[in-house]
Amino acid sequence: MTPAPPTEQPQPNESGTRCVFVSDLHGSAERYRKLCYLIETERPAAVFLGGDLLPNHWAAALGGVDFILDDLGPAFRSLRSKMRSGYPRVFLILGNDDNRSSEQAFMDFDREGLWTYLHERWDKIGRHPVFGYSCVPPTPFQLKDWERYDVSRFTDPGCVSPEQGVRTVPVDVDSVRFGTITDDLDRLASGHDLEGAILLFHSPPYGTALDRAALDGRMVDHVPLDVHVGSIAIQRFIENVQPLATLHGHIHESPRITGAWRTGIGRTHCFSAAHDGPELAVVRFDPSDLPSATRELI
């Protein structure tokens, strides 16, 4: 997919660009209620939603669309009506638990200006380019709409190949068989200077404090499972390109296991809003002062 050009909208001043990042809301009415209240009261310049936004009933493909049309879209539309010019830029991607058959509904609300759908696209907030990418390496789960081989055609023990499982939209067989996250990111970044960019990912980078799964002591066919389940491609991409900041979710238990919701790869600040409790995990950050970023459970 060719990255879309940035939307022509008024941009906030560079100083004081307050941003909010959340992820993995999984259709929770209570988490979305808290998020909308936070947006209305704190009035950030930008809000980032890092995937796994829909209820966990992807097998009923229209269920996600109903949630978007009946709940999520109207909630943000009402928020925009109340906030008027104070309504923030909203950037979002989907995650591996979200059925891709709902993607068109998200894009319809994008055209309405309610939010910016960012998968394999880019836009801007102030002087900062913003890029989004939803796909994750192979998981043990059956839904494969947002799964890709990572750096090669390898599937970890206990995981299901992207060529198997279930998809809710038709796909090109060769793209599934031979495509990788590495290739996708190379295309997404082609021609861009990412030094000041913010990248919204669903998967965390491999081998960090952000991708630690609760797999200690687990084995499949006498092979120990890797407790780090993030993307090697994303880790290498950050290491090589060194964007300003990257935002991640996906591995709910990682902050609890490692005690860390942020890490650094070179000069890049990496934040996670994943959380395995009922609360909403909120990361607040300003691109001009990333060391002062905070995370709160509400």
pTM of the model: 0.93
Q: Are 244 and 287 in contact (CB under 8 A)?
A: yes
pLDDT at 238: 98
Pair of tokens at residue 81: 């009506």
Q: How many residues does the chain have?
A: 298
Query: CA 181 to CA 191: how far, in whole Å?
Result: 18
pLDDT of residue 12: 42
According to the model, what pLDDT value does residue 65 have? 76
Angstrom distance (rounded) from CA 116 to CA 111: 8
Q: Using DSSP, state whether 185 is helix, strand or coil.
A: helix
Q: What is the pLDDT of residue 64?
A: 59
In 3D, which of 278, 248, 281, 285 has the Cα closest to residue 263?
248
Q: How many CA atoms lie within 13 A of 112 on its CB side?
A: 15
pLDDT given for residue 15 in this prediction: 46
Pairing of strands 294-297, 268-272: unpaired
**Residuewise pLDDT in 10s, the chain (298 residues):** 344 444 434 344 444 689 999 999 999 999 999 999 999 999 999 999 999 999 976 555 444 578 999 999 999 999 999 999 999 999 999 999 999 999 999 999 999 999 999 999 999 999 999 999 999 999 999 999 999 999 999 999 999 999 999 999 999 999 999 999 999 999 999 999 999 999 999 999 999 999 999 999 999 988 999 999 999 999 999 999 999 999 999 999 999 999 999 999 999 999 999 999 999 999 999 999 999 999 999 9
Looking at residue 1, its pLDDT comes to 39
Q: 246 in helix, strand or coil?
A: strand
Complete DSSP assignment for 151-167: SSS---TT---TTSSB-
